[in-house]
Amino acid sequence: MPAAEPASRRLGAERGQASVELVAAVPALLVAAAVALQVLAAGYSLTLADGAAEAAAMAVAAGRAPGPAARAALPGWAADRIAVTRDGGSVSVTLRPPSPIGALAEALAVTSAAWVRPPGAG
Whether residue 63 is predicted with pLDDT greater than 80 in this model: the reply is yes
CB count in 10 Å sphere of residue 108: 19
Find residue 83's DSSP bridge partners: 94
DSSP reduced 3-state for 3:
coil
Q: pLDDT tens across 66-105, in order? A: 999 999 999 999 989 999 999 988 999 999 999 988 899 9
Q: pLDDT tens across 6-60, in order? A: 655 555 556 677 778 888 889 999 999 999 999 999 999 999 999 999 999 999 9
**CB burial class (10 A; 0-12, 13-18, 19+) of residue 115?**
middle
